[in-house]
Chain A
Amino acid sequence: MSAGRGSGEDAGGLAINAEGLVRRFGDNVAVDGVDLRVAPGEIYGFLGPNGAGKTTTIRMLATLLRPDSGTARVFGHDVVREADAVRGRVSLTGQFASVDEDLTGLENLVLVARLLGHSRAQSRVRARELLDAFGLTEAAGRQVKKYSGGMRRRLDIAASIVVTPDLIFLDEPTAGLDPRSRNQVWDIVRALSAGGTRVLLTTQYLDEADQLADRIAVIDHGRVIAEGTPGELKASVGSGALHVRLRDPEGRPEAERVLSQALGLPVRLESDPAAITARVSDAERVAHALAELARSGVAVTDFALGQPSLDEVFLALTGRPVENDEANDEEDAA
């Protein structure tokens, strides 16, 4: 299990240690001073909207792009000066399937296996083994352009682990996949991690980061704006949120007044005319507020006290909801 561990690790035992990474594209500063410390043995999530700088950061760590300034070491190897040593230990699965569409699934894997130094015979054995493991045996002889999105993504990940890497970068591994395919990719990610491969994945799905990652860096406008376990991030915005649904939308102004007074906090009116949400830090005050609401005579059909979602975390950190930053899509074009 720990075959890859312990060898060539950074002095501090870090899988990734990046300091002050900066990368510009023309006037656009895609990555604006990212610091990153990823300990071995964890699935690390990079969470942020489109254009936040996730892809650019990953490409620098995978030696595909030189940083304009700052340094990054992967397993103690500098990504610029010792790029080949880094390449020997990591794999990248890009945002757009990095497989050859004209070739069959089998040929793609044999190609990568040959390029990594396997003999012709070994290459075929390894390719078959991976196709089997990823549920692609039946599609082995078919051109990749005829694959579904989920199959293509699985093949792409398979190509990244022809030689099981010590660290794998997955750039939005489930973007555009249906829920079934997404769950399959999640299973693969968990299996990879269990097998001793460190995983750094980017995602715009808060749910995905929450499900998979041991630690998360929230990135926005090229900077890491928060870092921690999913639990820590949630705790940083309070204990949760109170969601209330009224029987009658007309009672909402009254309910809003009562709740904000009882909680001592402003509440949020949802687009649903009968719904109100309030961020709360203290469960006792919630009980009090609900009692106040009942006394005021506003009829409530439903209420729930939830853990804050990462959506709310993002809102709390940036003051705006998660949205794709269309004006800043340089890294998608790259």
Chain B
Amino acid sequence: MTTPATSAQPIRESALRSALSSRVRPPRPNALSASLTFGWRALLKIKHVPEQLFDVTAFPIMFTLMFTYLFGGALAGSTGEYLQFLLPGILVQTVVFITIYTGFGLNTDITKGVFDRFRSLPIWRPAALVGALLGDVARYTMASTMVVVLGLILGFRPAGGVAGVLLSVALLLVFSFSLSWIWTALGLILRTPNSVMGVSMMVLFPLTFVSNIFVDPQTMPSWLQAVVGANPISHLVTAVRGLMDGTVTAGQIGWVLLASGALVAVFGPLTMYLYRNKK
């Protein structure tokens, strides 16, 4: 092995002195540049730990296949027809579930101490978090692509066309980015990565299942319809479905954008407060 040889590599005095003699202090990077650098770090992590892509590749395929073929026949008469209804919903569920890893990853960073370094640098404070979220958006995009392509292969035909599908994915990404701020706040509050995972699961399971993802709420008892109607995920699914079907209304899109804005407005500052005061 090469390890012993490497650790025996000596420190050279002259190189050390010359490295220390440089006192160049470049100008501070702006907020965007710092965030993008953190985004680059997120992509590097994907490169080095490709296993973490499991959740954005295998998960979506599993979900789509499972629900289409398990429930399709019973719920819509045929799997083909059900897919037409389900795909926008399962796309939402898949991506929304992946947002959990944002809080998980952040908490892992904190427990390992690397965040101390970032916090002690003279940079725009939210950059580390915004950058991590930008990296996550890349993952959400990957997952969305998986689901849409698989859907098309299985026979999903969106009436909204290419533009409708792209816009629906874009809308979903905006919402997921905003939703992630809840998990970053959680990631800063809870002690271990696993507890972050557990709590987010507990929130997301009811949110995604008690919605209009799998079935039309018309078939539910009226009290449950009220719950589903109030669920933000239902509104998101309605808008995504509308975009893919070409029947979307400005109100549906507006609702999602408003909800996204509200999420960032509340959980963004909360996260930053927790980040600044983390011990």
B33 contacts which chain A residues (CB < 8 A)? 114
B120 adjacent to A117 (CB under 8 Å): no
Closest A residue to B119 by CB, please name it: A64
Total interface residues in chain A, CB < 8 Å: 68
List chain A residues, Cβ under 8 A from B277: 66
Q: Are A161 and B20 neighbours in the complex by a CB distance under 8 Å?
A: yes
Contact with A along B110-122 (1 / 0, CB 8 A): 0011111111111
Scan A250-274; emit 1 where CB is below 8 A from any B CB, else 0: 0000000000000000000000000
Partner among B6, B112, B120 whose Cβ is within 8 Å of the Cβ of A101: B112
At the interface, yes or no: A191 with Cβ under 8 Å from chain B? Answer: yes
A-B contact count (CB 8 A): 151
Min CB–CB distance B194 → chain A (angstroms): 17
Q: A25-B279, A84-B122, A87-B121 are in contact. Are A103 and B44 (CB under 8 A)?
A: yes
Question: Is B48 in contact with A143, judged by CB distance below 8 angstroms?
Answer: yes
A178 nearest in chain B by CB position:
B7
A88: interface (CB < 8 Å): yes
The smallest beta-carbon distance between B108 and chain A, in angstroms, is 10
Chain A residues numbered 148-162 whose CB sits less than 8 Å from any CB in chain B: 148, 150-151, 154, 159-161
**CB-defined interface of A13-43 with B at 8 Å, one 1/0 digit per residue?**
0000000000001000000000000000000
In this complex, how many residues of chain B approach chain A with their Cβ under 8 Å: the count is: 50
A87 touches B5 (CB 8 A): no
Q: What is the CA–CA distance of A138 and B279 in the complex, to the nearest angstrom?
A: 36
Query: Which of B13, B19, B37 contacts A114, CB < 8 Å?
Result: B37
Query: Which of A92, A148, A334 interacts with B120 by CB under 8 Å?
Result: A92
Asked if A4 is at the interface (CB within 8 A of a chain B CB), the reply is yes
* B123 contacts A98, C-beta separation under 8 Å: no
- C-alpha gap A150/B8 in the complex (Å): 10
Chain B residues near A103 (CB-CB < 8 A): 41, 44-45, 48
Rounded to whole angstroms, the CA-CA distance of A62 and B15 in the bound complex is: 28
CB distance from A237 to the nearest CB of B (A): 36
**In the complex, what's the smallest C-beta–C-beta distance from B98 to chain A, in angstroms?**
19
B3 at the interface (CB under 8 A from A): yes
As a 0/1 sequence over residues 96 to 107 of chain B, the CB contacts with chain A under 8 angstroms (1 = contact) are 000000000000
Is A139 an interface position by the 8 A CB rule? Answer: yes
Is A117 a contact of B45 with CB atoms below 8 Å? Answer: no
Closest CB-CB distance, B49 to chain A, in whole Å?
Answer: 6
Query: Complex: how many Å from CA A99 to CA B49?
Result: 16
**Closest beta carbon of chain A to B13's beta carbon, Å:** 7
Whether A188 is near chain B, meaning CB under 8 Å from some CB there, is yes
- Once A3-B23, A102-B49 are accepted as A-B contacts, the answer to whether A115 and B11 lie under 8 Å apart by CB is no
Question: Is A133 in contact with B15, judged by CB distance below 8 angstroms?
Answer: yes
The answer on a CB contact under 8 Å between B6 and A94 is no
Task: Point out the residues of chain A lying under 8 angstroms from B25, CB to CB.
Answer: 88, 116-117, 163
* B44→A107 contact, CB < 8 A: yes
By a CB distance below 8 angstroms, the chain B residues around A91 are 120
Quick check: is A130 within 8 A (CB to CB) of the other chain? yes
Within 8 A of A (CB), among B1-25: 2-3, 5-7, 9-13, 15-25
Identify the A interface with B (CB < 8 A). 3-4, 25, 59, 62-66, 84, 87-88, 90-92, 94-104, 107, 111-112, 114-119, 122, 126, 129-130, 132-139, 143, 146, 148, 150-151, 154, 159-161, 163-164, 181, 184, 187-188, 191-192, 194-195, 197, 334
Interchain residue pairs with CB less than 8 A apart (26) = A65-B279, A66-B277, A98-B113, A98-B115, A99-B114, A99-B117, A101-B112, A102-B44, A102-B49, A103-B41, A112-B121, A115-B37, A115-B118, A116-B25, A116-B122, A129-B19, A135-B10, A135-B11, A137-B9, A139-B9, A143-B48, A161-B19, A161-B20, A164-B22, A188-B11, A191-B13
